[in-house]
Every structure is written in C-alpha cells, then in structure tokens.
Amino acid sequence: MTKQFRVLYKVTIIILAILAAMLIGSIILMTIGADVFKTYRVILFEPLKTTLQLTEVLIRAIPLTIIALGISVAYRSGIINIGGEGQMAMGILGTTAVALAFPELPKPILLPMAILAGAMAGGVWGFIPGILRAKLQVSELLSTVMLNYIAAQIYTFMLRGPFLDPAELTMGSGTPQSMRLSTGIWLNRFLKGTRLHTGIFFALFLALLIYLLLWKTNYGYKMRAAGASARAARYGGISVTWYLVIAMVISGAFAGMAGAIEIAGVHRRAIEGITGGYGFSGIVVALFGGLHPAGIIPASFFFGLLIVGADMTQRMVGVPANMVNVLQGVIILVIVATKMILADPYLMERVWRKYQGIGKKHVEVEA
Amino acid sequence: MNFIVNILSLGIPFSVALLIASLGEMFNQRAGVFNLGCEGIMAMGAFLGMLVPYSIGQGGPTSGMYNVLGLGLAMVVGALLGIFFAFVVVTFRAPQGIAGIGLQMFGVGTAGTLFRHFIGGTQSVPGIGNFPIPGLSKIPFIGPIFFSHNVLVYLAFLFVPLAWYILFKTPWGLRVRAVGTNPRAADSIGIQVNKVRYQALAVGGALAGLAGAYLSLAQVKMFSDEIIAGRGFIAVALVYFGHWHPVKIMGGALLFSLAQALQLAIQGQGINFPYEFAVMLPYVLVIIVLAFSRESQLLGPTSLGIPFNREKRI
C-alpha cells in the first residue's frame, strides 16, 4: 500500500463525510421548502460580517469551550458525560447563591468564590453519575440524562422560590428570575458596544490547564489509560473506578464553571433558559475537536457560529433555529461513523486491492 | 375507593407510550444494539402522528382514518430512522452510546424544525377518543380501570404477549436473541448477523415512532418540543429494569405511570407540595431503579453494545 494511497483514501473519506452531513441537512431543508445554499450561506458566513455578530459568536464559544473541555476529560477516561446541561444549571445556582449571599464582598474575593461555588455545584452533579457508575454499574448515559431533567426542575424551583427577584414579587410580572447580581461578580466587557467579556481568557486558560493535566501529569496519563483500555489499566495497577469518578467530577465542575462564567459575563442574573442546549452542543464540540484542547477551541468557534447563524436563518430565510440541533445531531453521527471507517484497516485493504485491480486492467487493455 | 379507581384508570393510559417504546427497545437490545436515540425517534413520531390529522383531516367525519394514517406514517419514518441508525452503528460499527445521542439530537431537532414550519404554534387535534368496550366497561371498578380507554391502550397491552411470542417462539425471535448473545456462533450457522440487527432496529424504530404518535394523538393531543420529556430515555432504562422480558417491562411501565398518576392525583387533592419536585419524581425513580438492579444486568444480552465484525480475528 503506497503512502499516497493512504492519504488519498483518508482525505476522500473525510470529504465524503462532510458531504454526507450536508446532504442530510439539505434533505430536511428541502422538506420545509427552504433555499438550501442560501441557508448554509447564512449559517456559515452571515455572523462573520459585523463585529457585533462576531463577538456574539465568541460569546457562545466561551461556554462551549469550557463544557467541551470537561466532556473530553470524561470521554478520554472512558465515561460519556451527557449531563452537561444539568451540571451547568447547578453551577449557575451555586454561583447565584454565593453572589446573593455576599453582595458586599469586594470583587477579588467574591468573583473567585462565586466561580468556585459554580464549579463545586457542577462537580457534585457530575460526582453522582460517576459514583453510580463506579460502584453500582449504573449506565452514565441514562443517569446523566435523568440528572439533566432533575436539575432543570430544581433550577426552576429555585428561580420561582428562594432566588426569586423581590422586585418580581411586588411588580408581579411573574418572570422567574433572580435579582440582578452584585457588580462584584461581573466580568468586564472589554470591547465597547459588545457583550464580549473576559471569560474568553478564562476559557483559554482552562484549555491550557486541561492540556497540561491530560498530557503532562501522572494523573492525566492514568485517566487516559483507564479510558483507552480499562482492563490493561487495571492490570497496570491503575484504579479505574477512582479515575472514572474523578473525571466525572472534573467534567461536571467544568460545566458548572461554564454556567458561572455565562451569568457573570452575559446575563448577570439567573434567568430561565441560560443552559439552552450548551450541554449537548458541548458533546459535539468535544468530538469535533478531536477531544483535544487545541481542536476544541476552533471547534467551539465553529459551533458558536452555527448557533448564531441558525438564529439568523429564521429572519433571513425562514428556517427555524432548531435547524442547528439537526446539524449537530447529524455531525455526531457522521463523526462517529467516519472515525470507525478511518480506523478500519480491513476496509482500506479491500479498497486498495480494488484500486490495484483497476490499475491492472488498464495495463492489460493497454497491452 | 374512588381515589384508587381514578389513579388506576389514569395510570394505565399513561403507561402506553413507555410500554410500546420499551418493547421496541427490547428488540433492539436483544439483538445487541443499544439505541439511545429512542427519544429522537419518538419526537419524530409525535410530530408526524399529529401532522396528518392536523393538515388534511381537520376534524371531519372521517378523522379516524387520518389518525390511522398518522400512526402509520410515524411507524414508517420510525423504522427508517432505525435503519439509518443501523447504518451508523451496525454497518460502520460506531460506538452506540454516543451515536444514540446523535440520533436523539437529530430526531428532536428535526421534529422541532418541521413542527415550526408545518404547524407553527400550539395547535390541538381531536385525536383518538376513548372507546369503552360495550358491556365490560359497565362492570364497577374493573370497567373504568381496564375497559374505558382508547383503542391503542388495548392494543399496547396485546403487544406484550405478542412480543413475548415473537421473541421466544418464532425463528426470527431466536435469531434476534442469537445475534445479541453470541453473534459469532450465530454467524457460523448461517445467520446474517447484521441483517437481523437491521431488522430489529427497524422494528424498534417503528415501535418508538408509534409510541411518540400515541403521545401526540391520544395522550396530549398536541405537539410541543417537550412532549417526549425524557420518556425515550426512561424506556431504555425500563428495558434494564424489566430484564429484557416483555412481561417484566410491562410491570415497570405500569409502576412508572402509576407513580405519575398518583402524583397528579395528590396534586389534585390540593396538598401543598412544590410542583417541580413532583415532576422530577419519575427521573429520580429511574436512577434509584437502575442503582438497585445491577445484578439484573448480568441477565442482559451478552453482546449488547458490541458491534459485530466478521473479518476480525479473535
């Protein structure tokens, strides 16, 4: 098998995969009678046209990066965390609780405390499925989904009850939201006229942290070993169950921090619908970014673009914003299938033989 | 006494969507495929089931026929989605858990997109009305509990013995169990493992579609983005809880729906209990049930979640 053939084979498969994903998306778009090319153009390029839209893309990319980093830690340790949504909601509650309890504290104390509270609340929400999987073999796929629904209910309960804005009670518009949080937890918006906040540097810092953790420490090595081959890792003296739990706690803490950053930077109060699918999009970002911080950062920008772009399609081409979920679902399916195709040596061998066969026939004809 | 009759007569129709979807998932898992995308297929089924009577039926004297058409469309598209999933996880052998999440997002997203385009807001349909069985429904207590429901309720409970018969007494059922337990052995006696898995996923998908359509046509009588509310995932959990056996799965579905009916009845009595905690009850129950049924996982199909590769040497 020649080297050129290997490269050609892989590139062809990746191109086919992208085409397949776009084709499936197009089928849905054609069903609703939308202009396929125009829709893709709006989703992919329209948000890049103005600075304001571009910063909105970056704002979406911040929580996506943080959640995806956590999910890739879990994924690499052999546990799939689809509970990002719930962990983020719990993180928001933790941050809000601290911000409401100590509004007078100065920023250098309150802000780290609030983010830490968010991380801890999310971490606890990740610990539950982790320990259930480690000790009782409960599938984390089901337990994290259930914890998402539970967290969503706790979240609305807190917003309607203990955290409800006192002004809402007197005014009586009935919007379930907390009061505006103390300025002590506000992240600076450093670009005038936009909402872009310093959380972006925090996200980049976390990406570096995860890179160092996974590839430069003993801990990370053991986690990756546990995920790559649980049996071999156990034989090598690594306590696989312990690292599963740790990975889930980290994963949950990251989703919690994403929530903390989101309210400290964007909303500055807890309102309904903040999580809005970030937990699920984070999975797509993590997979698309190859479960590596260096890939996750561009991937989260790309999916931030899709989310902002999909918001614009409603207005510009009449395609509902839900289209972004369709695309994300298709992208997951295509990525996991493509990964398996690329990793299948037998298939490559077969294609190679066929390729050679074609070559031989040509030779015979020429002779 | 009246209170108990109320709970039971409310709980039994609630169990239908869970029951049908879990029976479908049971066929998937018995064939060795873990389909977490059940939720997405149900969402598509719920949308399509309602679409037909909503767009062409609009009430009318023959609306019954449109309901049947809607259910049929939901099943056909459900089966197609099952085949699509099979293409990813059986042919390409992709990891089933994460692929299932992909299918779930795809299904829920597609249903939401199409719903906004074809229906728009909260629109209700007349749906499938109740059909009390003449005579039997007049029996005190038993009548209102068992014989005063819509046709699909009776059908769903007939599916239980039917699923049992298909799984344990027909050659196809034997093949399904064989490819889920030991695909290599099944392959060696000439069973086409991947073909049987495709068939099982098509059946499971059709049933998930039907379960979704039941929700939008018979239970809620409208569509919303949250209509499935995790029932697809609960259905997957019920298959574990029910030890991959139709009768035990029915028990699990009834347990869940009766808990839900009880919660609604308690709310109706005006007992002050935060609404949100009542809603989260079934999800908490799933986690508890899964935590305490770990021995049962030993009874599961031994090749569950493992793609079959004929060319791989062991």
pLDDT at site A291: 94
In a domain, A364, yes or no: no
Kindly tell me if the per-residue pLDDT of A367 is higher than 60.
no
Instruction: Compute the distance between CA of residue B299 and CA of residue B10 in angstroms, rounded to an integer.
Output: 32
Kindly tell me if the per-residue pLDDT of A50 is higher than 70.
yes
Residues 6+ apart with CB under 8 A from A326: A25, A28, B105, B106, B109, B110, B113
Kindly tell me if the per-residue pLDDT of B184 is higher than 60.
yes
A346: number of Cβ within 10 Å: 11
pLDDT at site B279: 84
**B82 reaches A (C-beta below 8 A):** no
List C-alpha distances in Å: B89 to A338, B82, B234, B297: 11, 10, 21, 22
Instruction: Compute the distance between CA of residue A282 and CA of residue B124 in angstroms, rounded to an integer.
Output: 34
Tens of pLDDT along B288-309?
988 887 766 677 888 888 888 8
The whole-number average pLDDT for the span A99-119 is 93
CA B94 to chain CA mean position, Å? 23
Please report the sign of the dihedral spanned by the C-alpha atoms of residue B94, residue B95, residue B97, residue B101. Answer: negative
Inter-chain contact A322–B116, Cβ cutoff 8 Å?
yes
Asked if A269 and A325 sit in the same domain, the reply is no
Inter-chain contact A336–B95, Cβ cutoff 8 Å?
yes
Kindly tell me if the per-residue pLDDT of A136 is higher than 60.
yes
The whole-number average pLDDT for the span A219-223 is 92
In a domain, A93, yes or no: yes
Residue length of chain B: 314
In a domain, B155, yes or no: yes
- Confidence band of B269 (pLDDT split at 50, 70, 90): confident
- Confidence band of A325 (pLDDT split at 50, 70, 90): very high
HEC profile for chain B? CHHHHHHHHHHHHHHHHHHHHHHHHHHHHHCCCCCCCHHHHHHHHHHHHHHHHHHHHCCCCCHHHHHHHHHHHHHHHHHHHHHHHHHHHHHCCCCHHHHHHHHHHHHHHHHHHHHHHHCCCCCECCCCCCCCCCCHHHCCCHHHHHCCCCHHHHHHHHHHHHHHHHHHHCHHHHHHHHHHHCHHHHHHCCCCHHHHHHHHHHHHHHHHHHHHHHHHHHHCCECCCCCCCCHHHHHHHHHHHCCCCHHHHHHHHHHHHHHHHHHHHHHHCCCCCCHHHHHHHHHHHHHHHHHCCCHHHHHCCCCCCCCCCCCCCC
In angstroms and rounded to an integer, the radius of gyration of the C-alpha atoms of chain B is 20
Inter-chain contact B110–A326, Cβ cutoff 8 Å?
yes
CB-based burial of residue A47 (10 Å sphere; 0-12 exposed, 13-18 middle, 19+ buried)?
buried
Q: Which residue of A has its CA nearest to B311?
A: A346
Structural domain for B63, as ranges: 2-124+133-299
Instruction: Compute the distance between CA of residue B42 and CA of residue B110 in angstroms, rounded to an integer.
Output: 11
pLDDT at site A191: 85
Residue scoring higher pLDDT (B135 or B182): B182
CA B13 to chain CA mean position, Å? 13
pLDDT at site B128: 81
Strand partners, A197: A189
Tens of pLDDT along A276-301?
889 999 999 999 999 999 999 999 99
pLDDT at site B66: 85
Inter-chain contact A136–B99, Cβ cutoff 8 Å?
no
**B109 reaches A (C-beta below 8 A):** yes
Instruction: Compute the distance between CA of residue B23 and CA of residue B209 in angstroms, rounded to an integer.
Output: 12
- Confidence band of A359 (pLDDT split at 50, 70, 90): low
Residues 6+ apart with CB under 8 A from A175: A165, A168, A271
CA B216 to chain CA mean position, Å? 13
Comparing A41-50, B111-120, B266-275, which segment has the lowest mean pLDDT?
Answer: B266-275
Maximum mean pLDDT: which of B121-130, B267-276, B282-291: B282-291
Asked if A3 and A84 sit in the same domain, the reply is no
**B114 reaches A (C-beta below 8 A):** yes
pLDDT at site B113: 94
pLDDT at site B57: 62
CB-based burial of residue B231 (10 Å sphere; 0-12 exposed, 13-18 middle, 19+ buried)?
buried
What is the token pair recorded at B115?
């719903």
DSSP A342-364: HT-HHHHHHHHHHHHHHHHHHHH
Q: Are A306 and A324 in contact (CB under 8 A)?
A: yes
Q: Smallest Cβ distance to B117: which of A149, A154, A320?
A: A320
Number of domains chain B contains: 1
Residues of B in contact with A327 (CB under 8 A): 109
In a domain, A3, yes or no: yes
Maximum mean pLDDT: which of A58-62, A307-311, B278-282: A58-62
Residue scoring higher pLDDT (B21 or B306): B21
The whole-number average pLDDT for the span B149-171 is 94
Instruction: Compute the distance between CA of residue A168 and CA of residue A160 in angstroms, rounded to an integer.
Output: 10
Residues of B in contact with A33 (CB under 8 A): 117
Asked if A200 and A334 sit in the same domain, the reply is no
Q: Smallest Cβ distance to B311: which of A82, A336, A346?
A: A346
Q: Are A94 and A264 in contact (CB under 8 A)?
A: no
Inter-chain contact B106–A326, Cβ cutoff 8 Å?
yes
Instruction: Compute the distance between CA of residue A88 and CA of residue A151 in angstroms, rounded to an integer.
Output: 9
Q: What angle is formed at CA B87 by the lines to CA A327 and CA B105, rounded to 5 degrees?
A: 30
Inter-chain contact A340–B114, Cβ cutoff 8 Å?
no
CB-based burial of residue B239 (10 Å sphere; 0-12 exposed, 13-18 middle, 19+ buried)?
buried
Asked if A25 and A156 sit in the same domain, the reply is no
pLDDT at site A110: 94
Inter-chain contact B94–A336, Cβ cutoff 8 Å?
yes
Asked if A113 and A144 sit in the same domain, the reply is yes
What is the token pair recorded at B56?
């062409």
- Across chain A, mean pLDDT equals 91
Q: Which residue has the tokens 């009845």?
A: B265
Q: Are B48 and B217 in contact (CB under 8 A)?
A: no
Inter-chain contact B109–A325, Cβ cutoff 8 Å?
yes
Give which of A341, A345, A326 is closest to A25, Cα–Cα.
A326
pLDDT at site A366: 52
**B273 reaches A (C-beta below 8 A):** no
Asked if A22 and A82 sit in the same domain, the reply is no
Instruction: Compute the distance between CA of residue B277 and CA of residue B290 in angstroms, rounded to an integer.
Output: 20
What is the token pair recorded at B135?
């005579």
Residues 6+ apart with CB under 8 A from A160: A176, B276
In a domain, A46, yes or no: no
The whole-number average pLDDT for the span A101-105 is 91
**B88 reaches A (C-beta below 8 A):** yes
Please report the sign of the dihedral spanned by the C-alpha atoms of residue B95, residue B96, residue B101, residue B104. Answer: positive
List C-alpha distances in Å: B125 to A329, B40, B69, B278: 29, 22, 14, 28
Instruction: Compute the distance between CA of residue A51 and CA of residue A113 in angstroms, rounded to an integer.
Output: 33
Instruction: Compute the distance between CA of residue A327 and CA of residue A164 in angstroms, rounded to an integer.
Output: 36
Tens of pLDDT along B42-98?
999 999 998 988 887 665 555 678 889 999 999 999 999 999 999 999 999 999 999
In angstroms and rounded to an integer, the radius of gyration of the C-alpha atoms of chain A is 23
Inter-chain contact B103–A333, Cβ cutoff 8 Å?
yes
The whole-number average pLDDT for the span A144-150 is 95
Inter-chain contact A333–B236, Cβ cutoff 8 Å?
no
CATH number at residue A113: 1.10.3470
Structural domain for A12, as ranges: 1-32+321-356
Inter-chain contact B106–A149, Cβ cutoff 8 Å?
no
Residues 6+ apart with CB under 8 A from B243: B296, B299, B300
Asked if A100 and A177 sit in the same domain, the reply is yes
Q: Smallest Cβ distance to B99: which of A31, A328, A333?
A: A333
pLDDT at site B54: 85
Tens of pLDDT along A158-209?
998 888 888 877 776 778 888 888 888 999 898 888 899 999 999 999 999 9
In a domain, B162, yes or no: yes
CATH number at residue B202: 1.10.3470
In terms of C-beta distances under 8 Å and separation of at least 24 residues, what long-range contacts does A225-232 make, across chains too? A226/A77, A226/A78, A227/A75, A227/A76, A227/A77, A227/A78, A227/A79, A228/A78, A230/A78
Q: How many helices (H) and strands (E) in chain A?
A: 15, 0
The whole-number average pLDDT for the span B215-239 is 91
Residues of B in contact with A139 (CB under 8 A): 240, 290
Asked if A28 and A140 sit in the same domain, the reply is no
**B14 reaches A (C-beta below 8 A):** no
Strand partners, B124: B222
In a domain, A43, yes or no: no
Q: Which residue of A has its CA nearest to B116?
A: A320
Asked if A14 and A144 sit in the same domain, the reply is no
Kindly tell me if the per-residue pLDDT of A128 is higher than 70.
yes
Inter-chain contact A333–B118, Cβ cutoff 8 Å?
no
In a domain, B138, yes or no: yes
Asked if A189 and A308 sit in the same domain, the reply is yes
pLDDT at site B122: 77
Q: Are A142 and B237 in contact (CB under 8 A)?
A: yes
Count how many pairs of residues, chain A against chain B, have C-beta atoms within 8 Å: 147
pLDDT at site A172: 67
Amino acid, res. B242: G
Kindly tell me if the per-residue pLDDT of A363 is higher than 70.
no
Strand partners, A189: A197
CB-based burial of residue B166 (10 Å sphere; 0-12 exposed, 13-18 middle, 19+ buried)?
middle
Asked if A193 and A286 sit in the same domain, the reply is yes
Q: Which residue has the tokens 């925090």?
A: A202
pLDDT at site B314: 60
Inter-chain contact B294–A332, Cβ cutoff 8 Å?
no
Q: Smallest Cβ distance to A326: which of B109, B274, B277?
A: B109
Inter-chain contact A331–B113, Cβ cutoff 8 Å?
no
In a domain, B304, yes or no: no
Nearest-CA distance from A260 to chain B in Å?
A: 23
Q: Are A328 and B101 in contact (CB under 8 A)?
A: no
Provide φ and ψ at B127, rounded to 5°.
70, -165
Asked if A215 and A284 sit in the same domain, the reply is yes
Maximum mean pLDDT: which of A14-18, A295-299, B58-62, B226-230: A295-299
In a domain, B314, yes or no: no
Number of domains chain A contains: 2
In a domain, B284, yes or no: yes
pLDDT at site B127: 77
DSSP A9-24: HHHHHHHHHHHHHHHH
Q: Which residue of A has its CA nearest to B283?
A: A146
